[in-house]
């Protein structure tokens, strides 16, 4: 079997770059997409702002302390969606096997492509050029023989990067890779790995499958394979939605039970609206609570029947809330999601949480559930 040719395209500081493109006065200046209120959050930061340490998911107050000249711009999600569609039109000129991860990044399988270009790196270079010339935006691209390495490669030379990891280079490249750069390794897992003496790919590769599985469960098998350059996941042109959820950042931190229940009720109502709009049915309800100090917990419950109505979901949400100690730990944010669509799981082994908005470290919107979507720091 011949090696696959996978490209990962990742737009650089996407939201902020769109704003700077559309408003020449913002070019070269530190820009944050979001709002500057007391409870505000940075949804995206331009590279000029990042020089000061500003990044997505940071509170607006902290961002302004780091960069007093920071310019806040309200997000325009409809514009970002439109631009994302234009980017995908370019992708489709080369392949229809496209797996979008968010508005600003996607995997492309170009093993067989519409233009019969033999080298994936040439396709990636053309796509980057087309995005710059046609849309006035900058993208980074990673090229390799699987998704894990293509994603790593796209991050390697940002911004405006183009990096290829060939099969004969992969093991040496992975050996030097910081453990924090591995897919699925967040701050908590990285800290645990450090205590085990795992700081890079070489350290990780020294562990046995049994040892990693013992320490990290099912994820241990992924880490074992990634450290050896193995990732058999296909580029999936159609991504099955696995969860729907919503979150509310409260205007004030609360620890009064009646106030919390009222907010939970409103969150549950919005969740019902989203489930209905997407015709989504699932069996698992998850409650997310973020406290005043930005620590957070989740609690989940699975039922044999579908969770589709307020009469079913609200009592379960209240039940999950009883497992949360918040009297001395005021709540800043409440979130609810429904996952585990059983009819889609007959052939699958597990359910994963999948955010509806773009992933990032600390989500904050406002008390209305029409949230500001955040993008990762790229």
Of 105, 247, 364, 375, the catalytic one is 105
Residue 13: its pLDDT value, please? 94
> What are the DSSP calls for 168-186, one per residue?
TTHHHHHHTSBGGGSTT--
pLDDT in tens, 172-210: 999 999 999 998 898 999 999 999 999 999 999 999 999
Query: Does residue 368 carry a pLDDT above 50?
Result: no
d(CA 128, CA 117): 15
Give catalytic status of residue 105 as yes or no: yes
d(CA 309, CA 325): 27
Q: Judge whether 47 and 29 are in contact, CB under 8 Å.
A: no
Residue 37: its pLDDT value, please? 80
Domains for the chain: give ranges and CATH numbers.
1-146 (3.30.70.270), 170-226 (1.10.150.20), 243-344 (3.30.1490.100)
pTM here is 0.69
Residues counted in the chain: 378
Q: Judge whether 196 and 203 are in contact, CB under 8 Å.
A: no
Side-chain-facing half-sphere of 93: CA atoms under 13 Å:
11
Q: Which residue, among 323, 308, 303, has the nearest Cα to 244 in the 3D structure?
A: 308
Q: Judge whether 59 and 361 are in contact, CB under 8 Å.
A: no
pLDDT in tens, 219-232: 999 999 999 999 99
Spatial neighbors of 183 by CB under 8 A, at least 6 apart, are 148, 151, 152, 222, 226
Instruction: Find the mean pLDDT for residues 15-28.
Output: 96
């Amino acid at each position: 079997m011949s090696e696959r040719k996978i490209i990962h395209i990742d737009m650089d500081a996407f939201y902020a770059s769109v704003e700077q493109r559309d408003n020449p006065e913002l070019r070269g200046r530190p820009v944050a997409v979001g709002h500057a209120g007391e409870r505000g959050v940075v949804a995206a930061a331009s590279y000029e702002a990042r020089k000061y340490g500003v990044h997505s998911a940071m509170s607006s107050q902290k961002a302004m302390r780091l960069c007093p000249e920071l310019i806040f711009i309200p997000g325009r999600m409809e514009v970002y969606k439109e631009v994302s569609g234009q980017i995908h039109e370019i992708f489709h000129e080369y392949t229809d096997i496209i797996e979008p991860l968010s508005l600003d990044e996607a995997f492309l399988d170009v093993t067989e492509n519409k233009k019969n270009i033999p080298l994936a790196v040439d396709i990636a270079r053309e796509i980057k050029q087309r995005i710059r010339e046609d849309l006035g935006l900058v993208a980074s691209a990673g090229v390799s023989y699987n998704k894990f390495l293509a994603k790593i490669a796209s991050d390697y030379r940002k911004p405006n990067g183009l990096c290829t990891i060939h099969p004969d280079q992969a093991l040496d490249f992975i050996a030097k890779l910081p453990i924090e750069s591995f897919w699925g390794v967040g701050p908590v897992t990285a800290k645990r790995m450090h205590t085990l003496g795992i700081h890079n790919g070489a350290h990780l590769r020294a562990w046995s499958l049994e040892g990693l599985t013992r320490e990290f469960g099912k994820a241990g098998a992924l880490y074992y394979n990634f450290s050896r350059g193995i990732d058999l996941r296909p580029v999936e042109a159609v991504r099955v939605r696995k969860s729907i959820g919503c979150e509310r950042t409260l205007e004030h931190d609360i620890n009064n039970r009646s106030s919390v229940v009222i907010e939970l009720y409103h969150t549950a109502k919005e969740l019902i609206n989203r489930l209905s709009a997407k015709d989504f049915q699932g069996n698992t309800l998850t409650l997310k609570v973020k406290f005043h100090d930005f620590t957070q917990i989740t609690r989940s419950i699975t039922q044999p029947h579908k969770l589709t109505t307020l009469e079913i979901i609200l009592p379960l949400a209240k039940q999950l809330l009883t497992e949360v100690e918040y009297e001395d730990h005021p709540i800043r944010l409440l979130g609810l999601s429904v996952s585990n669509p059983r009819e889609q799981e007959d052939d699958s082994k597990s359910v994963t949480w999948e955010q509806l908005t773009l992933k990032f470290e600390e989500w904050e919107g406002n008390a209305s559930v029409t949230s500001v979507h955040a993008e990762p720091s790229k």
